[in-house]
């Protein structure tokens, strides 16, 4: 484990790191920071949730002249939510450095952004489209930019932003430093990327698997029409603190959300058709715990760092293995544990193997839980509450009433009635989710050819069957520890 002061990090940043509770550098930080401080271009690839933001943020901030109130670093990110989050993390890191980061994204008033830009932030974190707008209007000057960062580089290139990115980079002084980061970096994308950089150093954290080991990965083989009830049962059994459910299309996300709400869950959906205001308010409710289940298309997958996400459900498996990696990576962050459960229809089983092969990790088979298991799960929540109350609360004032009850009734009936009153049973609302075609293996094959990474032959006949209830709260040693949150 490496301490940050061994990496040549400045005193103001050390102070910020201490405040943020970062005790040791993660592997990607330990490897990238010295390279980047020397001025090298870097392509950084490391698993989800392992601190890539600070890996590029720390050296970037340390290079900035805090007295110069001009944009000296530009970070480009694929989504608005991510731009906001990255700017927040950079501002925490730069708190004592006299440096400020501003997020700039579509869907927000131009005038407001122009005013904020005039205030002189030294770092701008932007989505590509809006950044191009500002550059064309000359409301962002890039003449003294010395660092450019592409966060989630492969996604931006996949989304067809390559020409925008080229144009953005062309307008930045040539002697700039370019840093490029993602948890996944298909070869083609890396090749394109190198044409935008100067003899980049590749920092790839050597990990056996593309996914972090603190995420337990499961799959359930299940016909399309049973997916929704199975999801309900699972939520009841696991009572996740926060869960994200990924659906393939916007329509699907809407239907799952409405269905979950009808059954009494605190669920909200998020996808690209919602206004920026709505997307932010849903995310904030989820972060604040006022929504327990976030139903999302891949919009929410890239880069979002929400602490407390204990479960990720792939209601539909994603088309490409990279999306799988980013989706499940919303849990198990910063050394915490998490579970990912993927619903796979029988015809999609070949696709599961493709994902496993690419990520070099295995999913364990789960048998679909029954309604009975689900009820038991909910009852267990009540039992836990009762036991806690016995332990923590002085119940003497209830003793007389309890004794009265037991005089005329047997104890099992009394407790069963109390349990039934306290248990939140799922509402029995009818829910219909329109069915979608299974992911075609032919397409999957194409994507495998595109992303071939490993020739490892694997034997798939050895999955361990494990029954209904998962064991939560495993304590695995993560990559790093954190004392407290800022
Ligand atoms: N050295 C550290 N010690 C403790 N916590 C850290 C450290 N570095 C980063 N973190 C925290 O870990 C979490 C994940 O970091 P971050 O979002 O940068 O991950 P990432 O690698 O960019 O993931 P993704 O691939 O999903 O974008 C954040 O909450 C961050 O504050
Ligand atoms: Mg990230």
pLDDT in tens, 33-44: 999 999 999 999
Instruction: Give the domain ranges of the chain.
Output: 4-206, 211-369, 372-399+407-422, 443-481
Superfamily of domain 211-369 in CATH is P-loop containing nucleotide triphosphate hydrolases (3.40.50.300)
| Helix 52-62 × helix 80-93 angle, to 10° | 50
Cα dihedral sign for 77, 78, 80, 81? negative
With a 6 Å cutoff on the Cβ, whether 287 touches ligand 1 is: no
pLDDT value at 479 more than 80: no
Mutate to test the pocket of ligand 1, among 1, 44, 50, 51 (most ligand atoms within 8 A of CB): 51
Give the contacts of 103 (CB within 8 A, at least 6 positions apart): 80, 83, 84, 86, 87, 88, 125, 126
Q: Give the pLDDT confidence score for residue 458 in this predicted structure.
A: 24
Q: Is a pLDDT exceeding 90 seen at residue 4?
A: yes
Query: What's the confidence (pLDDT) of residue 85?
Result: 97
Selection from 465, 294, 449 nearest residue 368 by Cα: 465
Dig out the tokens for 424 from the structure. Answer: 């939140």
Does 4-206 match 211-369 in CATH topology? Answer: yes
Ligand 1 centroid – CA 367 distance (Å) = 33
Give me the pLDDT at residue 417, please: 94
Q: Among the atoms of ligand 1, which is closest to the Cα of residue 330?
A: 26
pLDDT digits over 241-296, tens only? 999 999 999 999 999 999 999 999 999 999 989 988 899 999 999 999 999 999 99
pLDDT interval class at 435 (50, 70, 90): confident
Contact 19 CB / ligand 1 (< 6 Å): no
What was the pLDDT predicted at 439?
A: 82
Q: Please give the average per-residue pLDDT across 111-140, as a whole number.
A: 96
Sign, CA torsion 52/56/61/62? positive
Determine which helix (DSSP H) or strand (DSSP E) holds 74, and give its type and residue range: strand 73-76
244 strand-pairing partners: 294, 312
How confident is residue 447, by pLDDT bands cut at 50, 70 and 90?
very low
Whole-model pTM over 0.90:
no
Mutate to test the pocket of ligand 1, among 33, 49, 75 (most ligand atoms within 8 A of CB): 49
Tens of pLDDT, residue by residue over 223-250, are: 999 999 999 999 999 999 999 999 999 9
Instruction: Output the DSSP codes for 170-203.
Output: HTS-TT-EEEEEES---HHHHHHHHHTSSSPEEE
Q: Which two tokens stand for residue 458?
A: 């694997």
Q: Tell me: pLDDT of 480 over 60.
A: no
> Residue 398 phi/psi, 5° resolution?
-100, -10
pLDDT of residue 65: 97
Q: Is the pLDDT of residue 344 over 50?
A: yes
For atom 1 of ligand 1, which residue has the closest CA?
A: 25
The pLDDT assigned to 356 comes to 95
Atom 12 in ligand 1: residue holding the nearest Cα: 334
Tell me, using a 6 A CB cutoff, whether residue 52 lines ligand 1: yes
Q: CATH code for 4-206?
A: 3.40.50.300
**Sign of CA pseudo-dihedral 205, 340, 291, 474:** negative
- End-to-end alpha-carbon separation of the chain, Å? 22
Mean pLDDT of the chain: 88
**Residue 481 CB coordination number (10 Å):** 13
Answer whether 13's CB lies under 8 Å from 98's CB: no
Instruction: Tell me, using a 6 A CB cutoff, whether residue 53 lines ligand 1.
Output: yes
Euclidean distance between CA atoms 169 and 149, whole angstroms = 10
User: pLDDT-derived band of residue 442, with 50, 70 and 90 as boundaries?
Assistant: low
* pLDDT over 60 at 333, yes or no: yes
Determine contact, residues 29/3, Cβ cutoff 8 Å: no
Query: Confidence band (pLDDT; 50, 70, 90) for 209?
Result: confident
pLDDT tens by residue, 77-113: 999 999 999 999 999 999 999 999 999 999 889 999 9
371: pLDDT strictly greater than 80: yes
Supply the ipTM of this predicted assembly. 0.99
The residue among 167, 114, 127, 340 whose CA lies nearest residue 243 is 340
Query: How much is the average pLDDT of 347-375?
Result: 93
Looking at residue 318, what is its pLDDT?
94
Residue 341 has pLDDT above 60, yes or no: yes
CB 302 within 8 A of CB 152: yes
* Atom 30 of ligand 1, residue of closest alpha carbon: 51
Q: Answer whether residue 464 shows pLDDT above 80.
A: no
Note the pLDDT of residue 206: 73
More confident residue, 193 or 179: 179
Question: In the prediction, which pLDDT does 240 show?
Answer: 94
Question: Quick check: CB of 92 below 6 Å from ligand 1?
Answer: no
pLDDT confidence bin for 313, thresholds 50/70/90: very high
């Amino acid at each position: 484990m490496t301490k940050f002061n061994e990496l040549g990090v400045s005193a103001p940043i050390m102070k910020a790191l201490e405040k943020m509770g970062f005790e040791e550098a993660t592997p990607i930080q330990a490897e990238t920071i010295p390279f980047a401080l020397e001025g090298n271009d870097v392509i950084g690839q490391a698993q989800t949730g392992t601190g890539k933001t600070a890996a590029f943020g720390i050296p970037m901030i340390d290079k900035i002249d805090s007295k110069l109130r001009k944009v000296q670093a530009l970070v480009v990110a694929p989504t608005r939510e991510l731009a906001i989050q990255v700017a927040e993390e950079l501002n925490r890191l730069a708190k004592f450095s006299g440096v400020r980061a501003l997020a700039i994204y579509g869907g927000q008033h131009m005038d407001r952004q122009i005013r904020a830009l005039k205030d002189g932030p030294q770092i701008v974190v932007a989505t590509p489209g809006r950044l191009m707008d500002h550059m064309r209007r000359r409301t962002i000057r890039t003449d003294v930019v010395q660092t450019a960062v592409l966060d989630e580089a492969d996604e931006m290139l996949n989304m067809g932003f390559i020409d925008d990115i080229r144009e953005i980079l062309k307008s930045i002084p040539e002697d700039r430093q370019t840093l490029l980061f993602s948890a996944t970096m298909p070869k083609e994308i890396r090749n394109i990327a190198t044409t935008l950089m100067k003899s980049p150093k590749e920092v790839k954290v050597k990990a056996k698997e593309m996914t972090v080991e603190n995420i337990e990965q499961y799959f359930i083989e299940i016909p399309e029409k049973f997916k929704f009830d199975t999801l309900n049962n699972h939520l009841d059994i696991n009572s996740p603190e926060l869960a994200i459910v990924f659906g393939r299309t916007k329509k699907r996300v809407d239907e799952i959300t409405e269905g979950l709400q009808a059954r009494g869950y605190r669920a909200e959906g998020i996808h690209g058709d919602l206004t920026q205001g709505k997307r932010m308010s849903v995310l904030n409710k989820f972060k604040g715990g006022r929504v327990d289940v976030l139903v999302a298309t891949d919009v929410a997958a890239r880069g979002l760092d929400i602490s407390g996400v204990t479960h990720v459900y792939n209601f539909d498996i994603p088309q490409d293995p990279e999306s799988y990696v980013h989706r499940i990576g919303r849990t198990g962050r910063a050394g915490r544990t998490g579970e990912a459960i993927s619903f796979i229809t029988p015809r999609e089983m070949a696709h599961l193997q493709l994902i496993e092969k690419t990520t070099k990790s295995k999913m364990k088979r789960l048998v679909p839980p029954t309604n009975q298991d689900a009820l038991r799960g909910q009852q267990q929540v009540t039992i836990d509450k009762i036991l806690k109350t016995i332990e923590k609360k002085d119940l003497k004032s209830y003793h007389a009433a309890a004794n009265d009850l037991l005089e005329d009734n047997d104890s099992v009936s009394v407790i069963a009635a109390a349990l039934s009153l306290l248990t939140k049973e799922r509402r029995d609302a009818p829910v219909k989710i329109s069915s979608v075609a299974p992911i075609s293996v032919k397409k999957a094959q194409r994507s495998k050819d595109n992303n071939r990474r490993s020739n490892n032959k694997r034997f798939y006949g050895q999955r361990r069957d494990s029954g209904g209830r998962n064991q939560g709260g495993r304590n695995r040693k993560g990559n790093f520890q954190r004392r407290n949150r800022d």
